[in-house]
Amino acid sequence: MAGRSYSRSNNSRSYSNNNNNSNNNRPAKKHSGAKYKATSKNGTPVTTGWNYSRRHGLVTFLCVTTKATSVHTSKAGVEYLNVMVKISKAMSKDELVSGLMERHTGRVFVKELGIVINPKAPNGGYCGKWGN
């Protein structure tokens, strides 16, 4: 037997990187979204947003103008409206805070919470952290 070389055939199988429990054909689940209506039932602009996290659950935002709303113009010429933002969380009271809405895009900034609600973001809008 000396001098003979035995070659083994490579019986490799093609394994996919998918586990049997996961479904990678499905797109990733959305965690936030936003919509803007230039005129609501009352004729005023309205922005709505939602955000889902494990810690806070589903949080919804409703941004509307009030009687005291006025138009502010920035140095860059962008017009902002001051709006009331109603924040609704499951199993807790609704919270009211103020924010600034860009007049033409409907984007809302809530500075005290560090949140932006942007209906023009790709894939159905964005509602979440803003800044540092």
The CATH code of the domain that includes 100 is 2.40.128
Percent of the chain topping pLDDT 70 = 82
In angstroms, the CA 84 to CA 101 distance is: 10
* Any domain includes 13: no
Please say whether the beta carbons of 125 and 49 come within 8 A: yes
* Containing structural domain, residue 64: 32-129
* Any domain includes 81: yes
pLDDT at residue 7, as a whole number: 52
Please say whether the beta carbons of 118 and 128 come within 8 A: no
* Any domain includes 41: yes
In this prediction, the residues of the chain whose per-residue pLDDT falls under 70 are 1-23, 132
Q: Does pTM surpass 0.95?
A: no
pLDDT at residue 37, as a whole number: 86
